[in-house]
Amino acid sequence: MDVIGTWTGRTACTLQTALRMTNEALAARLGIAVRTVAAWHAHPDIVPRPEMQQILDTTYERAGESVQRRFTLLSRPAAGPPQAQVLRVAIAVVIRGEEVLLVCRRGSEALSWQFPAGVVKPGAAPEAVTVQETHAETGVHCSVRKHLGSRLHPTTGVQCEYHLCDYLMGEASNRDQLENADVQWVPRTAVTRFIPADRIYPPILTALEATA
């Protein structure tokens, strides 16, 4: 059984609902005027006087287990609407000597060159997704060297996790022809010919220049 520290108009009305009583029936049970119960409904933050606190305590204690259980359930804060999860994507910047791996996406309007990427499902590690999705898309095995940072993409609103990766093995090929039109190794110095510089996350450009 819950212990009520201080009764308010709100908790008194919750007890009324748990008892399944009308204003008149609760007033009769407590020995008070109906207008007092109505005042609790109108002013839920009102704190009844000490003698009324005792009457409410006694009524609650004698109400029985089922009523007390209902009271507890009704007193719980209402759950808000579920929060939408921001789509999270792991992006691989795979380096092989003087080259970087790119994929050409099939868009709704045009083709666009991007770095290999995959959706990070709840509970998955972005680093693992980076490696797995790169291989799934391109056939290239890689390992994550370091995390370059993350951002909420300014155009898509997707949460992006960027990883600088080292090439391990495998021939680059288009393994996802529904999503991609092509896969290529391109010179690191020529990346901005494929992807406009203003669309590339700045730490990627810094990393490509530093490793050139």
Question: What token pair was written down for 27?
Answer: 């007033």
Instruction: Flag whether the pTM goes above 0.75.
Output: no
Q: Which residues pair with 94 in a beta bridge?
A: 165
- Specify whether the CB–CB gap between 96 and 141 falls below 8 A: no
Q: In the numeric block, which tokens belong to residue 70?
A: 């209902």
CB atoms within 10 A of CB 194: 16
For each of the chain's 212 residues, which pLDDT tens digit applies? Answer: 567 889 999 999 999 999 999 999 999 999 998 888 988 988 889 999 999 999 999 999 999 888 998 898 888 876 555 555 678 899 999 999 999 999 998 875 567 899 999 999 888 999 999 999 999 999 999 999 999 999 988 777 789 999 999 999 999 999 988 888 999 999 999 999 999 998 899 999 999 988 55
Can you tell me the distance from the alpha carbon of 162 to that of 41, in angstroms, rounded to the nearest whole number? 54
**Architecture of the domain defined by 88-210:** Alpha-Beta Complex (3.90)
Cα separation, 139 vs 132, whole angstroms:
10
CA pair distance 71, 12, nearest whole angstrom: 10
CA–CA distance, 106 with 135 (Å, rounded to integer): 18
